[in-house]
Chains A and B, each alone.
Chain A
Amino acid sequence: QQQVKQSPQSLIVQKGGISIINCAYENTAFDYFPWYQQFPGKGPALLIAIRPDVSEKKEGRFTISFNKSAKQFSLHIMDSQPGDSATYFCAASRETSGSRLTFGEGTQLTVNP
């Protein structure tokens, strides 16, 4: 059973534009929501993360928006750059599950110059 659903599957954005990737989760016990960025031939790299007691977190050009009542969270990439072209994964975990992460399906982002 897929507990974290991610959309869109692919996204094409112009340089300087805003990239938005959405995720929805089912398990209300989840209490940690990270986003990972993966380049071809590399492992996923932690980008930014949020806990459900916060509605928004910003780090540089990356912002997570979190809606606890809707069980949704999203990643916004402001001023998107060609170097941001990668696959992005949302994930979720709960404290009682140790280090286990449940991942979304991934979004392939292409930023055109």
Chain B
Amino acid sequence: KAGVTQTPRYLIKTRGQQVTLSCSPISGHRSVSWYQQTPGQGLQFLFEYFSETQRNKGNFPGRFSGRQFSNSRSEMNVSTLELGDSALYLCASSWGGATRQYFGPGTRLTVT
């Protein structure tokens, strides 16, 4: 069974631009969660989508948004990029809860 895939793996953007990251969950998984990982803040929960609906949201500004499609694939969007948005963005999928949640390799976003 294929694991969680994320595209692109690396991305360089300029301040003020916007970016869209993609995540394909493990087949059959309906929950996709997004996390931001930085050296200073560690792993921070962004939001979770389940059956195309946002089920949970972390403490991030509205510039961070996401969506989930009917095939469970998910995208997250960051608008008006700031230098502090430079991070590894990870998505994780599961059947529906936190149990047995599997992470993708992440997208490394650098904002210059």
Contacts and interface: CB of A to CB of B under 8 A. Distances in A.
Interface of A: 32, 34, 36, 41-46, 49, 89, 91, 93, 95, 97-106
Given A42-B105, A43-B103, A89-B43, A99 B94 contact: yes
Contacts, number: 74
B48 A100 contact: yes
A25 to B, nearest CB: 14
Ranked nearest first, the 7 interchain pairs of A and B with the lowest CB-CB distance are A43-B103, A93-B98, A103-B43, A99-B31, A98-B55, A100-B56, A99-B33
Given A99-B94, A100-B98, A105 B42 contact: yes
Interface of B: 4, 31, 33, 35, 42-45, 48, 50, 55-56, 58, 90, 92, 94, 96-106
7 contacts: A36-B103, A43-B90, A97-B98, A99-B55, A103-B42, A104-B42, A106-B42
A95 B103 contact: no
Contacts of B96: 98-99
Given A49-B99, A99-B33, A101-B45, A44 B55 contact: no
A91 B43 CA distance: 10
A48 B33 CA distance: 19
A102 to B, nearest CB: 7
A41 to B, nearest CB: 7
Contacts of A103: 42-44
B65 to A, nearest CB: 17
Contact of A99 (B43, B48, B104): B48
